[in-house]
Structures are given as structure tokens and as C-alpha cells.
Amino acid sequence: MGTRVSPYLSDFPNLGGDEVARSCSQRDIDPGVVSYSRSPLTETVLDTLRSLVALVLVGLLLVWIAPGWIRRQAYTVLDRPLASLGWGLLGLVAFLILGVVILLVTILLAIFLGLLTLGGLVALIIVLGLLAEAALVLTLWVSTGYLAQIVVSFLAGVLLVEAIRPGRGRGWVLPLVVGLILYVVLRAIPVLGPLVGLAVVLLGLGALSHWIWTNLRRSRAAHLQ
């Protein structure tokens, strides 16, 4: 029994009637073709879970490697919240300025050495400049994407656990996990989430910037003695 094709297909010589009918027939009976799309809510939940897992894993690693350091940075935020915000803004500006300085120095040195026909040194300077920029970007990404968020979340977890179960806030894993869960949930809320994320990053980055500056001053003082 032949396949009936609409007579209107004859108006389109490039379209074979049998091929169109065969394609339609295959589409109708092929059970393996299933198309679906995730809802925005599902995507939000999955993104939140992925973020939580990543932060918990990195946080547990930090608790294992440097538990005292995390607690000191957390209490820096607790003792000096406004100063931490200021240091966070200063840290962001410092990263941006340093990135621009590295780029300009690399370009100027490459041009100067190029005028001196020192091609080998030009390549070396460019490679070193790119490596320095990459190291700066990596440092900023790790600091803002993980360290700052973990420090502030740990502090929130300590305060919350201590308020509910006095004495349990002295631990490490429970405050960390509780604080991170609270943080990622708040960050997933529309409008409020970005504000919470920005505040947490600035507070945590402020504590890190203050710690770096303090250590640099101590190192300089030790060299001057």
C-alpha cells in the first residue's frame, strides 16, 4: 500500500514526498526521542546544591589544614565588621590596580626590549606577565569564590549553633556545614541573594586583606630590625 502525499508537495520540487512522509512516520513511532527542559526552579535548586557541595568540600579541607586560621579570620569579621567591609573594598581595588600595573609594565618592558632588538627577552617578559596576571586572577577567584564565603559562613554557623546548643559552637564541622547551608539558601533568594553574596564576599575578603597586610607589616618590621 503506497503512502499518500499531499498534492501541495508537488509545488516544491526540492522536497520529495516520500522522504517527507517517511520522516513524519519515523517521528511518530520513534519512542527513543524524548525532549524535555528543566524548569527555572529546578536549575536554581541544582545550582544551589552544586555550590553547597563545592563550598563544603573546600571548607572541610581548610578545617583539616588550618582550623585555627579560619577561626581567627571569622572572629576578625565578628570583632570589626565595618572595618572588614572597608578592607574588602580596598582589597578589590588593590587587585584591580595590581592587574592594571602588571599589564602596563609588561607592555612597556616588551616595547622597550623590542626597540633594543632583544626578541628573546620580549617573549620572556610577555610570558612572565601573563603568568603574573593568571596568578592574580586565580588568587582573586579563590579568595572571593571560596575563602571569603567559607570564613563568613563558618562565623554564622558558630553563632547559630552556639545560640541553639551552647558549647557546640566550639566545634569545626557542624558550624561550618550549618553556616554554609544557611548561606547558600539565603543566596538563592531573588533580590536578597545577590546582596547577601556581595556582603559576605566583602566581609570575608576584608578579613583576608587585613591578615595579608598585617603579615606584610610584620615581615617588613622583622627585616628592618
Q: What is the pLDDT of residue 225?
A: 67
Q: What pTM value is reported for the model?
A: 0.76
Q: How far apart are CA 174 and CA 68, in angstroms?
A: 15
Of 195, 201, 208, nearest to 153 by C-alpha is 201
Q: Which regions of the chain are under pLDDT 70? A: 1-37, 225
Q: Return the SS3 of 165.
A: coil
Q: How far apart are CA 152 and CA 70, in angstroms?
A: 9
Q: What is the pLDDT of residue 34?
A: 46
Measured in degrees and rounded to the nearest 5, phi and psi for residue 202 equal: -65, -40
Tell whether the torsion through CA atoms of 108, 140, 199 and 80 is positive or negative: negative
Of 153, 148, 149, nearest to 207 by C-alpha is 148
Q: How far apart are CA 5 and CA 199, in angstroms?
A: 65
